[in-house]
Structure 1
Amino acid sequence: MPENEAVLSFLEARRSVMVRDMVEPGPDAASLDRILKVATRVPDHGKLTPWRIKILHRAGQEALGARLGEIFKRDYPAANENKIAVEAERMTRAPLVLAVVSTPDVNHPKIPVQEQLLSAGLVCYNILCAALAMGYAAQWITEWPAYSPDVVAHLGHNPETDRIVGFVYLGTAREQPTERPRPAVEDVARVWEG
Protein backbone atom coordinates (compact mmCIF):
# COMPACT_ATOMS: atom_id res chain seq x y z
CA MET A 1 0.00 0.00 0.00
CA PRO A 2 1.49 3.38 -0.94
CA GLU A 3 2.23 5.81 1.87
CA ASN A 4 1.19 9.42 1.84
CA GLU A 5 4.39 10.83 3.31
CA ALA A 6 3.09 14.41 3.48
CA VAL A 7 0.11 13.37 5.62
CA LEU A 8 2.26 11.24 7.91
CA SER A 9 4.83 14.02 8.29
CA PHE A 10 2.06 16.48 9.15
CA LEU A 11 0.57 14.16 11.78
CA GLU A 12 4.00 13.45 13.28
CA ALA A 13 4.62 17.18 13.71
CA ARG A 14 1.06 18.36 14.47
CA ARG A 15 1.08 20.92 17.27
CA SER A 16 -1.75 23.09 18.54
CA VAL A 17 -1.17 26.82 18.93
CA MET A 18 -2.14 28.25 22.31
CA VAL A 19 -5.07 30.63 22.01
CA ARG A 20 -3.04 33.36 23.73
CA ASP A 21 -0.67 33.22 20.75
CA MET A 22 -3.39 33.76 18.11
CA VAL A 23 -3.98 36.92 16.15
CA GLU A 24 -6.01 37.96 13.09
CA PRO A 25 -6.81 36.81 10.52
CA GLY A 26 -8.94 33.78 11.08
CA PRO A 27 -10.15 31.55 8.26
CA ASP A 28 -11.99 33.33 5.47
CA ALA A 29 -15.34 31.97 4.22
CA ALA A 30 -13.80 29.58 1.68
CA SER A 31 -11.27 28.25 4.18
CA LEU A 32 -13.94 27.81 6.84
CA ASP A 33 -16.13 25.92 4.38
CA ARG A 34 -13.25 23.56 3.62
CA ILE A 35 -12.45 23.10 7.33
CA LEU A 36 -16.10 22.21 8.00
CA LYS A 37 -16.19 19.73 5.12
CA VAL A 38 -13.11 18.00 6.54
CA ALA A 39 -14.60 18.20 10.05
CA THR A 40 -17.63 16.15 9.08
CA ARG A 41 -15.64 13.29 7.50
CA VAL A 42 -15.38 11.31 10.70
CA PRO A 43 -16.35 7.78 11.73
CA ASP A 44 -20.10 7.96 12.34
CA HIS A 45 -21.68 4.57 13.00
CA GLY A 46 -25.18 4.53 11.51
CA LYS A 47 -24.70 7.89 9.77
CA LEU A 48 -26.43 9.62 12.68
CA THR A 49 -24.43 12.88 12.52
CA PRO A 50 -24.70 13.03 16.32
CA TRP A 51 -23.05 16.45 16.55
CA ARG A 52 -23.60 20.05 15.60
CA ILE A 53 -21.13 22.87 15.03
CA LYS A 54 -21.83 26.44 16.10
CA ILE A 55 -19.79 29.01 14.17
CA LEU A 56 -18.95 31.96 16.42
CA HIS A 57 -17.77 35.03 14.57
CA ARG A 58 -17.26 38.16 16.68
CA ALA A 59 -20.99 38.82 17.30
CA GLY A 60 -21.58 35.23 18.44
CA GLN A 61 -18.45 35.27 20.55
CA GLU A 62 -19.54 38.45 22.30
CA ALA A 63 -23.09 37.16 22.83
CA LEU A 64 -21.85 33.91 24.35
CA GLY A 65 -19.25 35.83 26.36
CA ALA A 66 -21.93 38.05 27.86
CA ARG A 67 -23.78 34.94 29.00
CA LEU A 68 -20.56 33.44 30.40
CA GLY A 69 -20.04 36.61 32.45
CA GLU A 70 -23.58 36.33 33.84
CA ILE A 71 -23.20 32.65 34.70
CA PHE A 72 -19.81 33.20 36.33
CA LYS A 73 -21.11 36.11 38.39
CA ARG A 74 -24.09 34.04 39.52
CA ASP A 75 -21.98 30.98 40.40
CA TYR A 76 -19.14 32.98 42.03
CA PRO A 77 -20.80 35.95 43.74
CA ALA A 78 -17.53 36.87 45.49
CA ALA A 79 -15.69 37.24 42.15
CA ASN A 80 -14.42 40.74 41.44
CA GLU A 81 -15.41 42.69 38.34
CA ASN A 82 -12.03 42.06 36.66
CA LYS A 83 -12.47 38.28 36.88
CA ILE A 84 -16.05 38.52 35.58
CA ALA A 85 -14.81 40.66 32.67
CA VAL A 86 -12.15 38.03 31.85
CA GLU A 87 -14.83 35.35 31.72
CA ALA A 88 -17.06 37.56 29.55
CA GLU A 89 -14.16 37.99 27.10
CA ARG A 90 -13.19 34.30 27.07
CA MET A 91 -14.70 33.58 23.64
CA THR A 92 -13.10 36.63 22.00
CA ARG A 93 -9.51 35.41 22.45
CA ALA A 94 -9.26 34.29 18.81
CA PRO A 95 -10.70 35.52 15.51
CA LEU A 96 -13.08 32.55 15.19
CA VAL A 97 -14.46 29.90 17.54
CA LEU A 98 -16.23 26.70 16.56
CA ALA A 99 -18.30 25.09 19.33
CA VAL A 100 -18.83 21.37 18.76
CA VAL A 101 -21.81 19.85 20.54
CA SER A 102 -22.49 16.14 20.89
CA THR A 103 -26.18 15.57 20.11
CA PRO A 104 -26.60 11.82 20.56
CA ASP A 105 -29.65 9.74 19.84
CA VAL A 106 -29.83 8.42 23.41
CA ASN A 107 -32.52 5.89 22.50
CA HIS A 108 -30.83 4.35 19.50
CA PRO A 109 -31.30 0.56 19.69
CA LYS A 110 -27.84 -0.30 18.33
CA ILE A 111 -25.41 2.60 18.64
CA PRO A 112 -24.23 3.48 22.16
CA VAL A 113 -24.04 7.11 23.26
CA GLN A 114 -20.30 6.65 23.85
CA GLU A 115 -19.73 5.94 20.14
CA GLN A 116 -21.71 9.02 19.23
CA LEU A 117 -19.75 11.13 21.72
CA LEU A 118 -16.45 9.86 20.30
CA SER A 119 -17.63 10.82 16.81
CA ALA A 120 -18.19 14.38 18.06
CA GLY A 121 -14.70 14.41 19.54
CA LEU A 122 -13.33 13.43 16.16
CA VAL A 123 -15.13 16.40 14.62
CA CYS A 124 -13.06 18.62 16.94
CA TYR A 125 -9.89 16.81 15.95
CA ASN A 126 -10.61 17.08 12.24
CA ILE A 127 -11.29 20.82 12.63
CA LEU A 128 -7.98 21.14 14.44
CA CYS A 129 -6.02 19.18 11.83
CA ALA A 130 -7.69 20.83 8.83
CA ALA A 131 -7.05 24.33 10.15
CA LEU A 132 -3.42 23.54 11.01
CA ALA A 133 -2.89 21.91 7.61
CA MET A 134 -4.17 25.10 5.96
CA GLY A 135 -1.67 27.20 7.90
CA TYR A 136 -4.01 28.57 10.54
CA ALA A 137 -3.48 28.43 14.28
CA ALA A 138 -5.89 26.15 16.15
CA GLN A 139 -6.49 24.95 19.69
CA TRP A 140 -9.20 22.62 21.00
CA ILE A 141 -10.25 23.70 24.50
CA THR A 142 -13.03 22.78 26.89
CA GLU A 143 -12.63 24.76 30.13
CA TRP A 144 -15.60 25.32 32.42
CA PRO A 145 -18.08 26.58 29.77
CA ALA A 146 -18.04 23.19 28.05
CA TYR A 147 -19.34 21.55 31.23
CA SER A 148 -22.04 24.09 32.00
CA PRO A 149 -25.64 22.99 31.30
CA ASP A 150 -26.51 26.70 31.07
CA VAL A 151 -24.05 27.18 28.20
CA VAL A 152 -25.35 24.08 26.42
CA ALA A 153 -28.89 25.49 26.69
CA HIS A 154 -27.77 28.97 25.64
CA LEU A 155 -26.35 27.46 22.45
CA GLY A 156 -29.79 25.95 21.75
CA HIS A 157 -29.20 22.37 22.87
CA ASN A 158 -30.70 20.05 25.45
CA PRO A 159 -28.54 19.96 28.59
CA GLU A 160 -30.16 16.66 29.59
CA THR A 161 -28.60 14.81 26.63
CA ASP A 162 -26.21 17.10 24.76
CA ARG A 163 -22.62 17.94 25.68
CA ILE A 164 -20.14 20.51 24.42
CA VAL A 165 -17.10 18.45 23.46
CA GLY A 166 -14.99 21.44 22.68
CA PHE A 167 -14.45 24.97 21.54
CA VAL A 168 -11.92 25.07 18.72
CA TYR A 169 -10.26 28.47 18.55
CA LEU A 170 -8.92 29.50 15.14
CA GLY A 171 -6.67 32.33 14.01
CA THR A 172 -3.11 32.98 12.89
CA ALA A 173 -0.09 32.10 14.99
CA ARG A 174 1.84 35.06 16.36
CA GLU A 175 4.83 32.68 16.33
CA GLN A 176 5.21 28.98 15.74
CA PRO A 177 4.78 26.84 18.86
CA THR A 178 7.66 24.91 20.31
CA GLU A 179 7.45 21.16 20.60
CA ARG A 180 6.34 19.70 23.90
CA PRO A 181 7.29 16.34 25.39
CA ARG A 182 5.36 13.39 23.98
CA PRO A 183 4.97 9.94 25.53
CA ALA A 184 7.36 7.23 24.45
CA VAL A 185 5.45 4.64 22.45
CA GLU A 186 6.81 1.83 24.63
CA ASP A 187 5.31 3.54 27.69
CA VAL A 188 1.76 3.55 26.31
CA ALA A 189 1.53 0.64 23.85
CA ARG A 190 1.99 -3.07 24.64
CA VAL A 191 1.38 -6.27 22.78
CA TRP A 192 -1.45 -8.15 24.51
CA GLU A 193 -1.90 -11.84 23.91
CA GLY A 194 -4.56 -12.77 26.40
Structure 2
Amino acid sequence: MPTPNPAALEFLLTRRSRPAKTLTGPGPSRDELLPMLTAAARSPDHGKLEPWRFIVLEKGAMGRIADLVAKRAEALGETSEKVDKMRQQFAQADLAVTVVASPKPSDKIPVEEQLMSAGAVCLALLNAALASGWGANWLTGIASTDPVILSEGFGLAEGESIAGFIHIGTETVAPPERPRPDVDSITTWVSS
Protein backbone atom coordinates (compact mmCIF):
# COMPACT_ATOMS: atom_id res chain seq x y z
CA MET A 1 0.00 0.00 0.00
CA PRO A 2 1.51 3.37 -0.99
CA THR A 3 2.10 6.06 1.59
CA PRO A 4 0.47 9.24 0.31
CA ASN A 5 1.93 12.70 0.70
CA PRO A 6 -1.21 14.87 0.59
CA ALA A 7 0.68 18.16 1.02
CA ALA A 8 2.91 17.45 -1.98
CA LEU A 9 -0.05 16.37 -4.13
CA GLU A 10 -2.05 19.46 -3.12
CA PHE A 11 0.93 21.65 -4.06
CA LEU A 12 1.15 20.02 -7.50
CA LEU A 13 -2.61 20.27 -8.05
CA THR A 14 -2.65 23.99 -7.22
CA ARG A 15 0.79 25.20 -8.34
CA ARG A 16 0.78 28.28 -10.56
CA SER A 17 3.68 29.97 -12.32
CA ARG A 18 4.02 33.69 -11.67
CA PRO A 19 4.47 35.93 -14.74
CA ALA A 20 8.10 37.06 -14.84
CA LYS A 21 7.06 40.69 -15.36
CA THR A 22 5.33 40.60 -11.95
CA LEU A 23 8.46 39.44 -10.10
CA THR A 24 10.70 41.90 -8.34
CA GLY A 25 13.70 41.87 -6.04
CA PRO A 26 14.98 40.65 -3.89
CA GLY A 27 15.53 37.26 -5.40
CA PRO A 28 16.92 34.33 -3.49
CA SER A 29 20.47 34.51 -2.18
CA ARG A 30 23.01 31.93 -3.27
CA ASP A 31 22.39 30.00 -0.05
CA GLU A 32 18.64 30.09 -0.65
CA LEU A 33 19.01 29.08 -4.30
CA LEU A 34 21.29 26.10 -3.67
CA PRO A 35 18.56 23.78 -2.26
CA MET A 36 16.38 24.61 -5.28
CA LEU A 37 19.20 23.72 -7.68
CA THR A 38 19.83 20.55 -5.68
CA ALA A 39 16.15 19.58 -5.96
CA ALA A 40 16.19 20.23 -9.72
CA ALA A 41 19.30 18.11 -10.15
CA ARG A 42 17.34 15.13 -8.75
CA SER A 43 15.30 15.02 -11.98
CA PRO A 44 15.11 11.76 -13.94
CA ASP A 45 18.44 11.18 -15.66
CA HIS A 46 18.69 7.76 -17.24
CA GLY A 47 22.29 6.64 -17.41
CA LYS A 48 23.35 9.23 -14.79
CA LEU A 49 24.74 11.42 -17.58
CA GLU A 50 23.79 14.78 -16.06
CA PRO A 51 22.93 16.12 -19.53
CA TRP A 52 22.30 19.61 -18.22
CA ARG A 53 23.96 22.32 -16.21
CA PHE A 54 23.06 25.69 -14.68
CA ILE A 55 24.14 29.25 -15.40
CA VAL A 56 22.81 31.59 -12.71
CA LEU A 57 22.24 35.09 -14.06
CA GLU A 58 22.43 37.59 -11.23
CA LYS A 59 21.33 41.23 -11.45
CA GLY A 60 24.69 42.44 -12.77
CA ALA A 61 24.54 40.07 -15.77
CA MET A 62 20.96 40.84 -16.71
CA GLY A 63 21.68 44.17 -18.44
CA ARG A 64 24.37 42.61 -20.63
CA ILE A 65 22.04 39.79 -21.71
CA ALA A 66 19.15 42.24 -22.22
CA ASP A 67 21.28 44.39 -24.52
CA LEU A 68 22.49 41.39 -26.53
CA VAL A 69 18.95 40.06 -26.90
CA ALA A 70 17.71 43.46 -28.13
CA LYS A 71 20.61 43.78 -30.58
CA ARG A 72 19.97 40.32 -32.03
CA ALA A 73 16.20 40.80 -32.19
CA GLU A 74 16.69 44.05 -34.13
CA ALA A 75 19.16 42.33 -36.47
CA LEU A 76 16.59 39.60 -37.11
CA GLY A 77 13.98 42.19 -38.07
CA GLU A 78 11.67 42.04 -35.07
CA THR A 79 9.31 44.95 -34.47
CA SER A 80 10.39 47.55 -31.91
CA GLU A 81 7.56 46.39 -29.64
CA LYS A 82 8.81 42.78 -29.70
CA VAL A 83 12.42 43.90 -29.27
CA ASP A 84 11.45 45.83 -26.14
CA LYS A 85 9.45 42.91 -24.74
CA MET A 86 12.36 40.50 -25.30
CA ARG A 87 14.80 42.97 -23.72
CA GLN A 88 12.59 43.54 -20.68
CA GLN A 89 12.53 39.80 -19.92
CA PHE A 90 16.09 40.27 -18.69
CA ALA A 91 16.39 44.01 -18.00
CA GLN A 92 13.65 43.94 -15.34
CA ALA A 93 14.76 40.71 -13.69
CA ASP A 94 16.96 40.25 -10.63
CA LEU A 95 17.75 36.57 -11.08
CA ALA A 96 17.23 33.83 -13.64
CA VAL A 97 18.66 30.33 -13.75
CA THR A 98 19.60 29.25 -17.24
CA VAL A 99 19.09 25.51 -17.65
CA VAL A 100 21.55 24.41 -20.32
CA ALA A 101 20.79 21.16 -22.12
CA SER A 102 24.18 19.52 -22.49
CA PRO A 103 23.73 16.06 -24.04
CA LYS A 104 26.53 13.58 -23.48
CA PRO A 105 27.72 10.90 -25.91
CA SER A 106 25.96 7.65 -25.10
CA ASP A 107 25.23 4.38 -26.89
CA LYS A 108 22.30 3.74 -24.54
CA ILE A 109 20.59 7.08 -23.91
CA PRO A 110 19.39 8.95 -27.03
CA VAL A 111 19.84 12.71 -27.27
CA GLU A 112 16.06 13.20 -27.30
CA GLU A 113 15.78 11.55 -23.90
CA GLN A 114 18.60 13.70 -22.55
CA LEU A 115 16.79 16.82 -23.79
CA MET A 116 13.61 15.69 -22.02
CA SER A 117 15.67 15.33 -18.86
CA ALA A 118 16.73 18.98 -19.21
CA GLY A 119 13.06 19.92 -19.54
CA ALA A 120 12.32 17.95 -16.39
CA VAL A 121 15.05 19.95 -14.62
CA CYS A 122 13.31 23.18 -15.68
CA LEU A 123 9.99 22.05 -14.21
CA ALA A 124 11.63 20.71 -11.05
CA LEU A 125 13.45 24.01 -10.51
CA LEU A 126 10.28 25.99 -11.16
CA ASN A 127 8.37 23.87 -8.63
CA ALA A 128 11.21 24.02 -6.08
CA ALA A 129 11.21 27.82 -6.30
CA LEU A 130 7.43 27.99 -5.88
CA ALA A 131 7.54 25.49 -3.00
CA SER A 132 10.21 27.67 -1.36
CA GLY A 133 7.82 30.61 -1.39
CA TRP A 134 9.27 32.52 -4.36
CA GLY A 135 7.50 33.59 -7.49
CA ALA A 136 8.89 31.82 -10.54
CA ASN A 137 8.37 31.49 -14.27
CA TRP A 138 9.89 29.31 -17.02
CA LEU A 139 10.61 31.33 -20.17
CA THR A 140 12.34 30.68 -23.49
CA GLY A 141 12.32 32.87 -26.61
CA ILE A 142 15.05 34.22 -28.86
CA ALA A 143 17.61 34.15 -26.05
CA SER A 144 17.25 30.36 -25.88
CA THR A 145 17.50 29.71 -29.63
CA ASP A 146 19.65 32.31 -31.39
CA PRO A 147 23.13 30.87 -32.11
CA VAL A 148 24.85 34.24 -31.58
CA ILE A 149 23.22 34.72 -28.17
CA LEU A 150 24.00 31.13 -27.18
CA SER A 151 27.66 31.62 -28.08
CA GLU A 152 28.37 35.25 -27.13
CA GLY A 153 25.92 35.58 -24.26
CA PHE A 154 26.28 32.22 -22.59
CA GLY A 155 29.44 30.63 -23.99
CA LEU A 156 27.65 27.41 -24.88
CA ALA A 157 29.61 24.62 -26.50
CA GLU A 158 28.58 23.03 -29.77
CA GLY A 159 25.65 20.69 -29.17
CA GLU A 160 24.44 22.59 -26.11
CA SER A 161 21.18 24.51 -26.04
CA ILE A 162 19.03 26.34 -23.54
CA ALA A 163 16.04 24.41 -22.19
CA GLY A 164 14.75 27.46 -20.37
CA PHE A 165 15.28 30.45 -18.14
CA ILE A 166 13.72 30.05 -14.70
CA HIS A 167 13.09 33.56 -13.40
CA ILE A 168 12.86 33.62 -9.61
CA GLY A 169 11.95 36.60 -7.46
CA THR A 170 9.58 38.18 -5.02
CA GLU A 171 5.97 37.92 -6.09
CA THR A 172 4.16 41.26 -6.38
CA VAL A 173 0.69 39.99 -7.35
CA ALA A 174 -0.92 36.58 -7.29
CA PRO A 175 -2.16 35.72 -10.78
CA PRO A 176 -5.73 34.54 -11.21
CA GLU A 177 -6.33 30.89 -11.88
CA ARG A 178 -6.51 30.08 -15.56
CA PRO A 179 -8.40 27.37 -17.42
CA ARG A 180 -6.70 23.98 -17.18
CA PRO A 181 -6.81 21.04 -19.58
CA ASP A 182 -9.83 18.74 -19.49
CA VAL A 183 -8.03 15.58 -18.43
CA ASP A 184 -10.83 13.33 -19.70
CA SER A 185 -10.48 14.75 -23.22
CA ILE A 186 -6.72 14.15 -23.38
CA THR A 187 -6.60 10.73 -21.71
CA THR A 188 -6.94 7.35 -23.38
CA TRP A 189 -7.29 4.29 -21.17
CA VAL A 190 -5.94 1.05 -22.61
CA SER A 191 -6.91 -2.09 -20.71
CA SER A 192 -6.16 -4.82 -23.23
TM-score (norm 2): 0.91
Q: CA RMSD in A?
A: 1.8
Instruction: Give how far 1:23 is off.
Output: 1.5
CA distance in 1, matches of 2:156, 2:85: 25
Instruction: Give how far 1:79 is off.
Output: 4.8
Once the two structures are superposed, what CA deviation does each residue of 1:19-52 show, in whole Å capped at 9, x if it has no partner?
Answer: 1211222112221111111110111111111111
CA distance in 2, matches of 1:31, 1:187: 40
Instruction: Give how far 1:192 is off.
Output: 1.9
Secondary structure in structure 2 of the residue aligned to 1:45: coil
> Could you tell me which residue of structure 2 aligns to residue 111 of structure 1?
109
Q: Is the 8 A contact 1:100 1:165 kept in 2?
A: yes
1:26-105 alignment, distance < 5 Å: 26-76=27-77, 79-80=79-80, 84=83, 86-105=85-104
What stretches of structure 2 of length at least 5 have no aligned partner?
none
> Could you tell me which residue of structure 2 aligns to residue 136 of structure 1?
134
> Could you tell me which residue of structure 2 aligns to residue 183 of structure 1?
181
Q: 1:110 to 1:12 in 2, by over 3 A?
A: same
Instruction: Give how far 1:123 is off.
Output: 0.9
Secondary structure in structure 2 of the residue aligned to 1:166: strand
Q: Is the 8 A contact 1:140 1:168 kept in 2?
A: yes
Q: Which runs of 4+ in 1 moved over 3 A?
A: 82-89
1:116-127 alignment, distance < 5 Å: 116-127=114-125
Instruction: Give how far 1:85 is off.
Output: 5.1
Once the two structures are superposed, what CA deviation does each residue of 1:157-183 show, in whole Å capped at 9, x if it has no partner?
Answer: 13x422211111111111212111111
CA distance in 1, matches of 2:173, 2:87: 26
Residue-pair matches, total:
190
CA distance in 2, matches of 1:39, 1:83: 31
CA distance in 2, matches of 1:27, 1:177: 20
Instruction: Give how far 1:92 is off.
Output: 2.6
Once the two structures are superposed, what CA deviation does each residue of 1:122-176 show, in whole Å capped at 9, x if it has no partner?
Answer: 1111110011001100000112221211122121113x42221111111111121
Secondary structure in structure 2 of the residue aligned to 1:170: strand
What stretches of structure 1 of length at least 5 have no aligned partner?
none
Identity %: 35
Q: Is the 8 A contact 1:101 1:165 kept in 2?
A: yes
1:20 maps onto 2:18 in alignment: no
Of 162, 165, 183, the residue aligned with 1:164 is: 162
Paired letter, 1:172: T
CA distance in 2, matches of 1:85, 1:13: 32
Instruction: Give how far 1:94 is off.
Output: 2.4
